[in-house]
A and B are shown apart, each in its own frame.
Chain A
Amino acid sequence: MKLTGAQALIKSLEMEGVEVMFGLPGGAILPVYDPLIDSSIRHILVRHEQGAGHMAEGYAHATGRPGVAMVTSGPAATNIVTPIADAYMDSIPLVVITGQVPYAVIGTDAFQECDTVGITMPITKHNWLVTDAQDIPRIIREAFHVATTGRPGPVLVDFPKDIANQMMEWEWPEGVDLPGYKPNLKGHPKQIKDAAKLIGESHRPVIYAGGGILKARAAEALRELAEATGIPVVTTLMARGAFPDSHELALGMPGMHGNYTAITAMQKSDLLIALGARFDDRVTGKVDSFAPDAKIIHVDVDPAELGKVRRPDVPIVGDCKNVIERITVAVKADQAKHEWPDLSDWRATVKGWQVEHPLFYDQPEGGPLKPQFVIEKLRELAPDDTILASGVGQHQMWASQHWRFEHPYTWVNSGGLGTMGFSVPAAIGAKVGCPEKTVWAVDGDGCFQMTAQELVTAAAEKIPVKIAILNNAYLGMVRQWQELFYEERYSEVYLSPDLPDYVMWAEAMGCAGFRVETPEDVIPTIEKANAINDRPVVIDFRTDYREKVYPMVPAGASNSDVIIGPEADTRGGR
């Protein structure tokens, strides 16, 4: 069967099971948009290419399937660079297809030409420039294989316009042949035995669960390991939802804005069981003083993570699900053989911290409205399996802290890269992937203004996401740092509460818009928003700009010096 390159590309995507893609056409990719008309693939037309990338990420976060985005060359390719970098940091499987000027004119500074492969080389797992239409099925197979296996991540296929028009003989390859790419998933049996032994010798162990748990679909395995051993579990920003917050062993989020107990349990532990986590600086604080007495078991599918920041005592390269299950089996075998340390004292100590230093805020009856209160009410009124997306900043930390996560794949956020503007398009992508679930985005006013135009996409495509703007009229996190570390010298952080008018803006984009200024309006307005399912909803919550995110470990400080509240005398680290 003879096909054009463009037809072969679309057919290859269909063969890979792609149901939906996010994109925006333009000159160089035009030939590919023609066969798309006849394809089973649903295409969602975005308003900005960055939106396409974040939607594909949100889709991948929520479904576990690779997100696919397609845009044209030059400025479109550079516009999607941010989502690619974001996906690279957070190991999100993404397949991005970019148009390119005809192969024959590459290198001549042709109209809308840029070196997309060169630009995206350091932020993709791999990328390809198609030079022959005959290679298309093989490259697409390889692209999906690389994006979704091992440590997932973004890949990019750059597609010159003349290749799209070139004829090729269709043949779908049976498999992939990449001699330099063989992820090790199994985990070494001796290391697994050693891990179980170390667990059996520890008295203050903590499971440090990272985003890799979700990537490996290992939430159930994690729970079994925790329950078999009685070891408390911290879930990093990327792992929220991987372990239910209501579980008696759940400690919540550690790190710069983690809760006191999660931070302190890690600090005082004698064994950290790091599962799909990468010892990010936002978790460790000052590395030299991070969990100083802890031995480390580190499980990751990416060998380069083992020893990158902290040298593990037991390094295990492998898929989290597989390895955790086998550690659990080895632990149970050991438990049957010899006496197991009693962790009840440790758990009681941890429980004591939870009681003594819970997350707290104070919502005065007449206002001002506190952002944490809004998040708690959103949670209470939303279905249990609601997907929550967020942008980056104070609202993101409050969302992670105060939302009660009970299920995996219900938290969509930008962790590693910290991309402001992530939430609106990511929420749309998540809703496309899980139309049966409620999707709320908690956003900041700064973030919202970066990508809000994608609500036009959502309205046009009837994707009823719900956006809660925690509008404190500031770039809040920057303001917080200027208040605490720059002697309250506020430099370029004021945004205004009513410019733009978020309600009018929402309505102009085809959404329902509401405004809430007082605590008593919170519940009725959320109920109104929850009742709307034919279009997106935006609520402008006017929140207290003075509210800061606590606890907080200042940048570069030791986690033992966590500040748990606004008063200086509430420093922890006894």
Chain B
Amino acid sequence: MTIDHHILSVLVENKFGVLTRVSSLFSRRGYNIYSLAVSPTEDDRYSRMTIVVDGDADLVEQITKQLNKLIPVIKISELADSDAVERELMLVTIKGGADTRSQVTELASIFEAKILDVGFEAVTLMVAGQPDKLDAMTDLLKPFGIVEMQRTGRIALPKLSRQSSKLRVVRNQTA
């Protein structure tokens, strides 16, 4: 069994205490959360949690089943990397006075990062993208000196089908 990141997209009732119920379940059963993002959805009765967990397939199955037992959990989908679009947002403050600022901004433009704030001794950048991209950028920024950094944790949605409904109908007729 390989240990891997698994993305769980968890639709929950939008009530107080739900996040506690989910996180308490993880700690009590000894599961590890790699990242967690919670946000409102298109329907204000529900929130969506995007939880990234580490573990083999058996563990993820058990986590999913235990999560499903929580009353406010409506639906859980596991999103495989290939079946999901995922993004993460990072804010990062880099040391950068007049001498290194141009190098930092150059890097920012390569990664399509935005400069949010500039001080005499530091620059704050914002970058969104695949988690790998954020990792890569973090590595490249390290030599300048990272003052502070925060990442949102990834959010993900299933990829859409490329097949148009029309085509499917034609196929059915010819089959």
**Chain A residues with a Cβ under 8 A of chain B:** 117-118, 121-122, 125-126, 129, 146, 178-181, 302-304, 306-308, 311
Set of chain A residues within 8 Å of B28, measured between Cβ atoms: 122
Whole-angstrom distance between the Cβ of B37 and the nearest chain A Cβ: 20
Report yes or no: A304 in contact with B71, Cβ–Cβ below 8 A.
Answer: no
Set of chain B residues within 8 Å of A125, measured between Cβ atoms: 69, 71
**Chain B residues with a Cβ under 8 A of chain A:** 12-13, 17, 20-21, 24-25, 28, 58, 61-62, 65-66, 68-74
Report yes or no: A180 in contact with B62, Cβ–Cβ below 8 A.
Answer: no
Report yes or no: A121 in contact with B20, Cβ–Cβ below 8 A.
Answer: yes
Given contacts A122-B28, A304-B66, is CB(A178)–CB(B17) below 8 Å?
no
Report yes or no: B66 in contact with A180, Cβ–Cβ below 8 A.
Answer: no
Nearest-CB residue, chain A, relative to B11: A180
A304 to B60, CA, bound (A): 11
Nearest-CB residue, chain B, relative to A302: B69
Set of chain B residues within 8 Å of A302, measured between Cβ atoms: 69
Set of chain B residues within 8 Å of A303, measured between Cβ atoms: 65, 68
Ranked 8 nearest A-B pairs via Cβ: A304-B65, A126-B71, A180-B74, A122-B28, A181-B71, A303-B65, A180-B73, A304-B66
Nearest-CB residue, chain B, relative to A181: B71
Report yes or no: A146 in contact with B71, Cβ–Cβ below 8 A.
Answer: yes
Given contacts A121-B24, A122-B24, A180-B13, is CB(A304)–CB(B74) below 8 Å?
no
Report yes or no: A178 in contact with B68, Cβ–Cβ below 8 A.
Answer: no
Nearest-CB residue, chain A, relative to B72: A180
User: Which of the listed residues A117, A146, A303 has the most CB atoms from chain B within 10 Å of its own CB?
Assistant: A303
Set of chain A residues within 8 Å of B17, measured between Cβ atoms: 117, 129
A387 to B58, CA, bound (A): 41
Nearest-CB residue, chain A, relative to B66: A304
Nearest-CB residue, chain A, relative to B17: A117
Report yes or no: B62 in contact with A307, Cβ–Cβ below 8 A.
Answer: yes
Set of chain B residues within 8 Å of A311, measured between Cβ atoms: 58
Can you give 14 A-B contacts (C-beta < 8 A)? A122-B24, A122-B25, A122-B28, A179-B74, A180-B12, A180-B13, A180-B71, A303-B68, A304-B62, A304-B65, A306-B65, A307-B58, A307-B61, A311-B58
A122 to B28, CA, bound (A): 7
Nearest-CB residue, chain A, relative to B67: A304
User: Which of the listed residues B13, B65, B71 has the most CB atoms from chain A within 10 Å of its own CB?
Assistant: B71
Set of chain A residues within 8 Å of B12, measured between Cβ atoms: 180
Whole-angstrom distance between the Cβ of A126 and the nearest chain B Cβ: 4
A118 to B61, CA, bound (A): 26
Tell me the dominant secondary structure on chain B's binding face. Answer: helix
A521 to B146, CA, bound (A): 83
Beyond A118-B20, A307-B61, A311-B58, list 19 extra A-B contacts (CB 8 Å).
A117-B17, A121-B24, A122-B24, A122-B25, A122-B28, A125-B69, A126-B70, A180-B12, A180-B71, A180-B72, A180-B73, A180-B74, A181-B71, A303-B68, A304-B65, A304-B66, A306-B65, A307-B58, A307-B62
Set of chain B residues within 8 Å of A146, measured between Cβ atoms: 71
Whole-angstrom distance between the Cβ of B12 and the nearest chain A Cβ: 8
Whole-angstrom distance between the Cβ of A106 and the nearest chain B Cβ: 12
A129 to B61, CA, bound (A): 30
Whole-angstrom distance between the Cβ of B71 and the nearest chain A Cβ: 4
Set of chain B residues within 8 Å of A304, measured between Cβ atoms: 62, 65-66, 68-69
A150 to B17, CA, bound (A): 23
Nearest-CB residue, chain A, relative to B62: A308
Report yes or no: B21 in contact with A121, Cβ–Cβ below 8 A.
Answer: yes
Nearest-CB residue, chain B, relative to A146: B71
Set of chain B residues within 8 Å of A129, measured between Cβ atoms: 17
Whole-angstrom distance between the Cβ of A279 and the nearest chain B Cβ: 13
Set of chain B residues within 8 Å of A178, measured between Cβ atoms: 71
Whole-angstrom distance between the Cβ of B147 and the nearest chain A Cβ: 35
Set of chain A residues within 8 Å of B69, measured between Cβ atoms: 125, 302, 304
Set of chain A residues within 8 Å of B71, measured between Cβ atoms: 125-126, 146, 178, 180-181
Whole-angstrom distance between the Cβ of B74 and the nearest chain A Cβ: 5
Whole-angstrom distance between the Cβ of A283 and the nearest chain B Cβ: 19
A125 to B25, CA, bound (A): 12
Nearest-CB residue, chain B, relative to A126: B71
Set of chain B residues within 8 Å of A308, measured between Cβ atoms: 62
Nearest-CB residue, chain A, relative to B28: A122
Whole-angstrom distance between the Cβ of A298 and the nearest chain B Cβ: 13
Nearest-CB residue, chain A, relative to B58: A307
A181 to B62, CA, bound (A): 18
Nearest-CB residue, chain B, relative to A118: B20
Nearest-CB residue, chain A, relative to B18: A180
A307 to B65, CA, bound (A): 10
Whole-angstrom distance between the Cβ of B43 and the nearest chain A Cβ: 11
Set of chain A residues within 8 Å of B21, measured between Cβ atoms: 121
Set of chain A residues within 8 Å of B20, measured between Cβ atoms: 118, 121
Whole-angstrom distance between the Cβ of B163 and the nearest chain A Cβ: 29
A183 to B137, CA, bound (A): 46
Whole-angstrom distance between the Cβ of B9 and the nearest chain A Cβ: 15
Whole-angstrom distance between the Cβ of A176 and the nearest chain B Cβ: 11
Nearest-CB residue, chain A, relative to B75: A180
A121 to B20, CA, bound (A): 9
Set of chain B residues within 8 Å of A181, measured between Cβ atoms: 71
Set of chain B residues within 8 Å of A126, measured between Cβ atoms: 70-71
A118 to B62, CA, bound (A): 23
A304 to B71, CA, bound (A): 14
Nearest-CB residue, chain B, relative to A153: B69
Set of chain A residues within 8 Å of B72, measured between Cβ atoms: 180
Set of chain B residues within 8 Å of A121, measured between Cβ atoms: 20-21, 24
Whole-angstrom distance between the Cβ of A312 and the nearest chain B Cβ: 12
Set of chain A residues within 8 Å of B25, measured between Cβ atoms: 122
Whole-angstrom distance between the Cβ of B133 and the nearest chain A Cβ: 35
Nearest-CB residue, chain B, relative to A308: B62
A125 to B65, CA, bound (A): 14
Report yes or no: A180 in contact with B61, Cβ–Cβ below 8 A.
Answer: no
Nearest-CB residue, chain B, relative to A122: B28
Set of chain B residues within 8 Å of A118, measured between Cβ atoms: 20
Whole-angstrom distance between the Cβ of A56 and the nearest chain B Cβ: 21
Set of chain A residues within 8 Å of B61, measured between Cβ atoms: 307
Whole-angstrom distance between the Cβ of A93 and the nearest chain B Cβ: 15
Nearest-CB residue, chain B, relative to A121: B24
Whole-angstrom distance between the Cβ of B13 and the nearest chain A Cβ: 6
Whole-angstrom distance between the Cβ of A156 and the nearest chain B Cβ: 13
Report yes or no: A180 in contact with B70, Cβ–Cβ below 8 A.
Answer: yes
A497 to B30, CA, bound (A): 43
